[in-house]
Structure formats: C-alpha cells, structure tokens
Amino acid sequence: MSAKPARRVKANPLRDLPLAKVYQTIEPGPVVLLATAEGGRANVMAMSWHMMVDFEPPLIACIVSEGDYSFAALCATRECVIAIPAVEIAETVVKIGNSSGRDIDKFAAFDLTKIKAKRVSAPLVGECFVNLECKVKDTTLVDKYGLFILEVVKAWQDPKQRHARTIHHHGYGRFVVDGERITLKSRMR
Ligand SMILES: Cc1cc2nc3c(=O)[nH]c(=O)nc-3n(C[C@H](O)[C@H](O)[C@H](O)COP(=O)(O)O)c2cc1C
C-alpha cells in the first residue's frame, strides 16, 4: 500500500500591505467636489471618501474632516452640492483640494461657475457633468468619524458632457481615469 503523498504547503507568496496604504487600494468612487454656502459665502472642497448607501431616495455617505472649512458650513446649513468633475478639469480639482476656503474664494480663484441650485443654498458647479443637491439626513456618526449621510433631493446633468470620464484618487497625487466601458449580464441593478 503506497502512502499518500503529503500535501505540499506552498510558502505564502503574498507580501505585507501596510495598513496605512489600504485606502489607496479600495477607494471607490470618483473624486467629487462638495460645495457649501454659509452666510452667502460659497465654498468648495475635493472629496474622494464617499459611497452610495441607498437607491431612492439616493443616500450618500461621505467623510468630511473636521479640519476642513467646509465642515462647519455643512454642519450649520445641513445642505450641500456634490458636483462630479470630468478628467478635463482634474488639475483644478486638485487645486481645490490643496487650498482652503478659509484663505481664498475658490470659486473666484479657480474660475468656477456658480449656478443657483433649486433646493439648497449651496451653488451648483457649472463645469461639472453631474450636480447633486443634498440635505444632511443623518449626523449620528459625525462626531466619531466625520461621516455624514446625505440625501440627494435634486439631481442635474450636463447634456454636453455625455461621455465624461471621472478621476479616481489612489493617494499622493496619483489618479486613475475612468476607462473602457463593458456590459455584462449582472443581476445587480
Ligand atoms: C483628491 C482629493 C481627495 C480628497 N478627499 C477628501 C475627503 O474625502 N474628505 C475630506 O475631508 N477631505 C478630502 N480632501 C481634502 C480636502 O479637499 C481639503 O482639505 C480641502 O482643502 C478642504 O477645503 P476647505 O477647507 O475649503 O473645506 C481631498 C483632497 C484631494 C486633493
């Protein structure tokens, strides 16, 4: 009777991924702009930490750091606009994310077009291909994580930017641009 060959245990071929780099691998959505307006003063920041939470009404979770000037405006007004920029204005998006409304008027400094929104005081950003007017729905996790749940109450799209390609942040100034589209049979709507 021949003995069963022992199962060869292969050495783990994987390598450590530093915990500090995890966010660079799983960052989900496009970099967006978050516009606010407090006391008639409009501001805008860049944001990549966000996710969909529900279909309809659309709910979006997002992380806005307490250190951002936008944080106070979002807490005070409980309203904002999430505007989605295409790759063509990526450099402006980064400049928006590298500066603070505390120091400058970013709409003026970066030549952004303010368009009056319908349901919120924050402006739409004319250069973006989608604009979502949002009301803060849930602040339960703001103190702990800076996590706001936003409800989209009105949405706009720019018909001239039908094939807009988004940018996705992989950390430290590296971005991936939305690419080829494929269609597969998926049960997920
Ligand atoms: C690509 C990119 C993504 C960013 N994502 C976020 C984010 O998800 N949450 C956040 O609080 N700050 C984020 N920031 C940083 C803010 O945009 C930045 O602190 C900004 O200057 C805040 O503006 P404010 O002080 O006018 O509110 C990001 C910056 C960049 C460049």
The answer to whether 65 touches 153, Cβ cutoff 8 Å, is: no
- The tokens describing 139, both together, are 């602040």
The answer to whether 78 touches 119, Cβ cutoff 8 Å, is: no
Ligand 1 centroid to 38 CA: how many Å? Answer: 18
pLDDT (tens digit, 0 to 9) for every residue of the chain, 189 residues total? 556 666 777 788 889 999 998 888 887 689 999 999 999 999 999 999 999 999 999 999 999 999 999 999 999 999 999 999 999 999 999 999 999 999 999 999 999 999 999 999 999 999 999 999 999 999 999 999 999 999 999 999 999 999 999 999 999 999 999 988 899 998 888
The answer to whether 149 touches 61, Cβ cutoff 8 Å, is: yes
Count of CA atoms in the C-beta half-sphere (13 A) of 18: 3
pLDDT of residue 5: 64
| Angstrom distance (rounded) from CA 43 to CA 103 | 11
Ligand 1, residues at Cβ distance < 6 Å: 31, 43, 45-49, 63-65, 68-70, 94, 97, 99-102, 169
